[in-house]
Amino acid sequence: MSTLSSIFSSQNFSSKAIIIPEDGTILSYLELFDQIRLFQRRIIDLCDLQVQDVISIILPNSLEFIISFLATTLLRNIAAPLNPNYTENEFKFYFDDSKSKVVVVPSGWSQQNKAAIKASKKFNMVIIEIKWDHLRKEIKLEIPKQKVNPNDVALLLHTSGTTGRPKGVPLTHKNITTTMKNIIKTYQLNSNDCTLLVMPLFHVHGLIGGTLSTLLSGGIVVIPEKFSAKKFWNDFLDYNCTWYTAVPTIHQILLLHPFPSQGVPKLRFIRSCSSSLAPSTLFKLEQIFHVPVLEAYAMTEASHQMTSNPLPPLKHKPGSVGIPQGVQITILDENGKPTKEGEVCIKGENVTLGYLNNPSANASSFTSDGWFRTGDQGKFDNEGYLFLTGRIKELINRGGEKISPLEIDSVLLSHPIISEAVSFAVPDKIYGQEVHAAIKILSLIAEERLLDQEIEEQKRKRQTVETRNRVLNEISVKDHISETVEQYKKALPQLNQEIQDMKEQIAREKEILNEFDIINKTLSEKLELSNEHISHDPRFENLHEKFQKVQEIFDELNEELFKFIEHNFENKTMVDDNNEQRTSSLKTILEDLMNRAFSDAPYIRVDIDRVWKPYVGTLIRAGIAQRHPNDANLIKLVEFHK
């Protein structure tokens, strides 16, 4: 059966389907199906929907998302998942482009007047708030069954192209289930498998690659509320997970975290997708887990997976995205003729029939004989393994020579201390374009060593790539590379810095790290003092344990800050209740919060235009601070004393 209803057609209904670690919820396939039917009744009662109308789903990774998505698609409507962090204008664009009639949001969003709510009101959309506790209490009702057509559009997503407006990608039940079956076959998924979801459900990687494929195989999906490297391995062991799929950045983050006392988890395989995996990361993962790390190649227009490295006994090759998995692939030149190295083009039942309301994009994206142009440049080796060598639109034209950024990236990533790399073009008076690159290294110590000793050596060693001279004119070493190349390339004017500027950057980073140590010490002293005063009072029997959690949250703060601190660390300003402006750092913000935590006025006023936004945002996300319910510019320390 080529529809999503096949998830429930052949399963043992008593088997576990979904696990939510935070509240211990465990649903069997039958219980999940019942909840889907209940939510369908809500949609029918509240909305005047026709077949193939669009429902926007704006939810975090959760049981609510799974129920909403499957309830929508099995009613022959189209689910359009969106990132909950979009701005009001972004929501307006996606609502207008998709012609959504309904929006599903978390409970409480209407009262908080979130950006999605404001945008939906502009289009008179029906707003449905969903909360699992509420759904669980509803009585079961019979509803009319809809017979789903394989050619019904089930999912509408938008691409995040480098230029122009995002393009809507409609995917049918047949598109999605074809990929689901291909993934099951590639990795031999079955009812004994259990995966821990780390990718967002509003992308095909998390939704199709991680969740729907597992459910179709009869396996179990563990869905934490959010990705936490600190909790990941504990959850992995607690629920006997057998595999996971993630982007390279998450693999690298997980490698930095120690395993729990139970030891190293026993996996069947690890999957990597959505961007290039550094060979050094692959080798380290395999060295620790003694299982194959399989890199795959995917895109939204193909309902996710197109190729993957296979399981043993077949080979898996570092640097390759593997072999075609249920998809036809050819390499074409600019004129649409077969060639050894050129544009990767695909055909298959998993491929979208075309972009939404965009005839010009469809004309340029499909050949006359039906091949979809991926925009990626690549080549097959003599064993049929695909190697990507760049994006067609991102080839660097250096004096007429077309240079692939991915080839440069792969050379940089071959160095053991480089974890991420991105090369790009900058204007040049002589050659038109010149090759520059930004890299992320594994530690500050390694960064200094690379700056002082190894950049010139690496440039000398790697002047040739596949017999052609390609000299890197400059390497910028940065603390953080954005999740997507498009976002990072917007910062190109800031990347072209001299080596001395980078060394000064390192010094500032070290000051921040020293500041973290001071904060740790300050918090520890305050916690010890508090415990001395309350430890003999029986009324505060459990308070000691709660205060210990402060230190755990602070550890998460360090982790979050390390990810989000950018290159600019100059002092920022904060305005207090007396409207007095003064220089502040993360340390002083935390000290003010601590000093006010037990007072009658625990809030401090933060002027968002003058305070560095990641400071405030990180404190909120890490659970250190919370905003005033009626004024987003007021923050206070989370009330652990209660």
The pLDDT tens digits of the residues spanning 372-411 come to 999 999 999 999 999 998 888 777 877 667 677 777 877 7
Are 485 and 527 found together in one domain? no
**Continuous H helices in 124-225:** 132-137, 173-187, 204, 213-216
Measured between alpha carbons, how far is 275 from 373 in angstroms, rounded to an integer?
18
Residues near 329 by beta carbon (within 8 Å), at least 6 away in sequence: 306, 307, 344, 345, 346, 386
Is residue 370 in some structural domain? yes
Average pLDDT, the chain: 78
Measured between alpha carbons, how far is 636 from 624 in angstroms, rounded to an integer?
9
Residue 481: give the domain boundaries.
Answer: 395-496
Is residue 387 in some structural domain? no
Give the tens place of pLDDT for each residue, 69-105: 999 999 999 999 999 999 999 999 999 999 999 999 9
- CATH (domain of 101): 3.40.50.12780
Give the tens place of pLDDT for each residue, 307-323: 999 999 999 999 999 99
Is residue 390 in some structural domain? no
Q: According to the model, what pLDDT value does residue 576 have?
A: 43
Is residue 103 in some structural domain? yes
Q: How far is CA 215 from the centre of its chain?
A: 21
Are 318 and 454 found together in one domain? no
Q: According to the model, what pLDDT value does residue 24 have?
A: 84
Of 496, 515, 542, the domain-final residue = 496
Residue 254 or 565, more confident:
254
| Residue 632: strand, helix, or coil | strand
Are 291 and 326 found together in one domain? yes
- CATH (domain of 434): 3.30.300.30
- Name the band, by pLDDT with cuts 50, 70 and 90, for residue 59: very high
Measured between alpha carbons, how far is 129 from 104 in angstroms, rounded to an integer?
6
583 CB neighbour count, 10 Å cutoff: 10
Q: According to the model, what pLDDT value does residue 457 have?
A: 56
Give the tens place of pLDDT for each residue, 449-478: 555 555 555 555 444 333 333 445 555 554
- Name the band, by pLDDT with cuts 50, 70 and 90, for residue 533: very low
How many helices (H) and strands (E) would you count in the chain? 22, 31
- Name the band, by pLDDT with cuts 50, 70 and 90, for residue 514: low
Q: According to the model, what pLDDT value does residue 243 have?
A: 98
| Residue 616: strand, helix, or coil | helix
Are 43 and 110 found together in one domain? yes
Are 428 and 557 found together in one domain? no
- As a residue count, the chain comes to 642
- 141 and 38 in contact (C-beta within 8 Å)? yes
Q: According to the model, what pLDDT value does residue 599 have?
A: 64
Measured between alpha carbons, how far is 225 from 608 in angstroms, rounded to an integer?
27
Q: According to the model, what pLDDT value does residue 623 have?
A: 72
Residue 202 or 529, more confident:
202
| Residue 284 exposed, middle or buried by CB count within 10 Å (0-12, 13-18, 19+) | middle
Give the tens place of pLDDT for each residue, 538-587: 444 454 455 555 555 555 554 554 444 333 333 344 444 444 444 456 65
Q: According to the model, what pLDDT value does residue 570 have?
A: 38
Is residue 432 in some structural domain? yes
Nearest Cα neighbor of 295 from 387, 159, 372, 219 is: 387
- Name the band, by pLDDT with cuts 50, 70 and 90, for residue 160: low
Lowest mean pLDDT of 148-162, 295-309, 484-498, 563-577, name the range: 563-577
Give the tens place of pLDDT for each residue, 184-223: 999 999 999 999 999 999 999 999 999 999 999 999 999 9
- 271 and 245 in contact (C-beta within 8 Å)? yes
Of 472, 496, 520, the domain-final residue = 496
Is residue 385 in some structural domain? no
Number of domains in the chain: 3
Of 496, 511, 529, the domain-final residue = 496
Mean pLDDT of 605-632: 71
Helix axes 543-564, 499-534, angle to 10 degrees: 170
- Name the band, by pLDDT with cuts 50, 70 and 90, for residue 492: very low
Evaluated on CA atoms 122, 123, 124, 128, the torsion sign reads negative
Are 490 and 509 found together in one domain? no
Q: According to the model, what pLDDT value does residue 326 have?
A: 96
- 329 and 346 in contact (C-beta within 8 Å)? yes
Are 421 and 359 found together in one domain? no
Are 251 and 369 found together in one domain? yes
- Name the band, by pLDDT with cuts 50, 70 and 90, for residue 484: very low
Is the pLDDT at 7 greater than 80? The verdict is yes
Measured between alpha carbons, how far is 216 from 623 in angstroms, rounded to an integer?
36
Is residue 184 in some structural domain? yes
Mean pLDDT of 600-616: 67
Are 315 and 430 found together in one domain? no
Are 264 and 121 found together in one domain? yes
Are 414 and 275 found together in one domain? no
- Name the band, by pLDDT with cuts 50, 70 and 90, for residue 141: very low
Q: Residue for token digits 């012609």?
A: 99
Mean pLDDT of 288-302: 96
- Name the band, by pLDDT with cuts 50, 70 and 90, for residue 335: confident
The CA-CA-CA angle for residues 197, 201, 203, to 5°, reads: 115
Q: According to the model, what pLDDT value does residue 568 have?
A: 33
Is the pLDDT at 527 greater than 90? The verdict is no
Are 30 and 120 found together in one domain? yes
